[in-house]
Structures are given as C-alpha cells and as structure tokens.
Amino acid sequence: TVEETELLQKLYDLLTAKEFQSRIEGVALLLDLCKRSPRLISNNIVQIFDYFVLRICDYNKKVKQQALEALALMITILRGGLNPVLIRLVEAVTNNLNSKHVGIYAA
C-alpha cells in the first residue's frame, strides 16, 4: 500500500541520515515496525537490512550499540524471516566482537 511504501521510505531515510540521532531514530523505528508489522519487515527484509547492516557497523558507537541491542530483540520477533539476510548479519555482528567499547561488546 501507499502507507507502507511511505513508512519504508521514512525508515530508509532515517537509517541513512547524516545525523547520528536520526540514525538511532531509524533503528528504533525498525524495531517498532518489527513489533507492529513483522510481515511488512519480512516481506522487505533484504532491502531493509541493506541499510540496517550499515548501522551495525556504524562509526558512531551509540548508533552501533543501539543497532546491536535492537537486533537481539528483532531475532526473537522475526525468527525465520531473517534467513535471507542471516549471513550478512553474522558478518556484521562478528566484526563487533573485538570491540573495546563495553556497551558494544555487551550488546
């Protein structure tokens, strides 16, 4: 629908914004959409996670930590819907395992 298309465009815009606060807002919106409309996310998983994986590897520690924490919650919501993006997610998360930042390491 038009509403879903507009919502996805807003999500993409936030996830690719220059300001880190907007990228954090995008991560929060994605998590909210996973809770409210898991089917919408699952149907568009590859396109959405093209942008979301960038936030897991974000240069801003706050954005990265927020993305990792959100991912932990999204896994339980989306489960098998993550299959098309699972390899990319594992690679992105693995890159954060050696982080010296306590929050990122914990997430």
Q: At the fourth CATH level, which superfamily is domain 2-106?
A: Leucine-rich Repeat Variant (1.25.10.10)
Q: Do residues 90 and 49 make contact, with C-beta atoms less than 8 angstroms apart?
A: no
Both tokens of 67, joined, read 């993305």
- Domain ranges within the chain, ordered by starting residue: 2-106
pLDDT of residue 98: 67
**Statement: the pTM of the whole predicted model exceeds 0.95:** no
How many Å apart are CA 86 and CA 100, to the nearest integer? Answer: 25
Q: Which residue has the tokens 């929060």?
A: 28
| Max intra-chain CA distance, the chain | 44
102 CB-side CA count, 13 A = 0
How many Å apart are CA 29 and CA 87, to the nearest integer? Answer: 23
pLDDT digits (tens, 9 = 90+) for 45-97: 999 999 999 999 898 999 999 999 999 999 999 999 999 999 999 888 887 67
Percent of the chain with pLDDT over 90: 79
